[in-house]
Chains A and B, each alone.
Chain A
Amino acid sequence: MKSLDELKAIREKMQSQIDLRSENEHASTRIVVGMATCGIAAGARTVLKALSDSIHEKKIENVIVTQTGCIGLCQYEPIVEVIEAGKDKVTYINMDEKKAQEIIEQHIIRGQIVNEYTINSKMSE
């Protein structure tokens, strides 16, 4: 059984990195995943996992992944919103694991919106 002692070790280690942490609290980018019944049924949990894993693997800082409920666009779920300070919100629709990784790669790392997955591209069809 995994013990709580390891958690104590993590605390010891992290207490010396307080600066890093307070920086993390002021995350400049929020990635929001719709996690209501519609989103979950459409595969939001897989998308969420892909986003979190990708951020963890690539050691991206100042980005937090969070969740929201149903925003009334159930047919477009899984929906992922990228909210960056001082910029317009970008809404990606019909996400899957691969698209989620692309969002991290293109939008979060390179700063380029993946237009073909946004809701705007759907609306202008």
Chain B
Amino acid sequence: MTEISLNILDVAQNSISAGAKLIEISVIADIKKDILTVEIKDNGCGMDDEKLKNVVDPFFTTRTTRKIGLGIPFFKLAAENTGGSFNITSQLGLGTTVTAVFGLSHIDRMPLGDINFTIHSLITLNPSIDFFYLYKIDERCFTLDTREFREILGDIPFNSPEVSAYINDYLNENKQVVDSGTVI
């Protein structure tokens, strides 16, 4: 995994496996505090305390309700290697929240990478799941909410070429407004 956005894609797959109907992803850079916070929150089946204790163990995996193997340990290590932190909270039946904090300017921090394609593929490949995405740098931010899209589109699917292209443009144009093309 060479990009934070690939880790986000990977962690979101766990939310999908957990039967989430809504997945909220946020990428927040605070330049003054020099931190980059990434959060993936779902309303899937959640985990009990026993399972939660084990998810950061690379040799623990459960293939009955959720698949957890190397993905979470990778993500945790990537954050901690930059002087950041990693946290995962979960409640059975309610959902799971994964939070990773990175040292923004730390030399070992992997780049955010193609976050827009991660978000775009999650939305178009999982048309029955709703996504809320927040991209924020200091005081500037934009959000994408598929529930709003759905309200406008009715039964027109997200993976139809026109809508897919719109989502792509929406992400690219708004990201540009927020970060002016700065590579995070």
Contact = CB atoms under 8 A, between A and B. Distances in A.
Interface string A37-67: 1001100010011001000100100001111
Contact of B6 (A41, A67, A69): A41
A114 B166 CA distance: 33
Contacts of A85: none
A33 B161 CA distance: 19
A122 interface: no
Interface residues of A, number: 31
Contacts of A65: 125
A69 B71 CA distance: 13
Interface stretch (A9-17, A75-83, A89-97, A102-110): A9-17
A48 B123 CA distance: 13
Contacts of A24: 157, 160
A2 interface: yes
5 contacts: A11-B156, A24-B160, A45-B9, A45-B118, A52-B124
A8 B118 contact: no
Interface in B103-135: 114, 117-118, 121, 124-126
Contacts of A66: 125
Contacts of A10: 153, 156, 162-163, 166
A37 B70 contact: yes
A70 interface: yes
Which of A4, A45, A65, A69 has most chain B Cβ within 10 Å? A45
Given A7-B152, A49-B117, A14 B6 contact: no
B162 A13 contact: yes
Given A1-B174, A15-B156, 20 more contacts: A1-B177, A2-B170, A2-B174, A7-B153, A7-B163, A11-B152, A14-B156, A14-B163, A35-B13, A36-B10, A37-B10, A37-B74, A40-B1, A41-B6, A45-B9, A45-B117, A49-B117, A52-B164, A66-B125, A69-B17
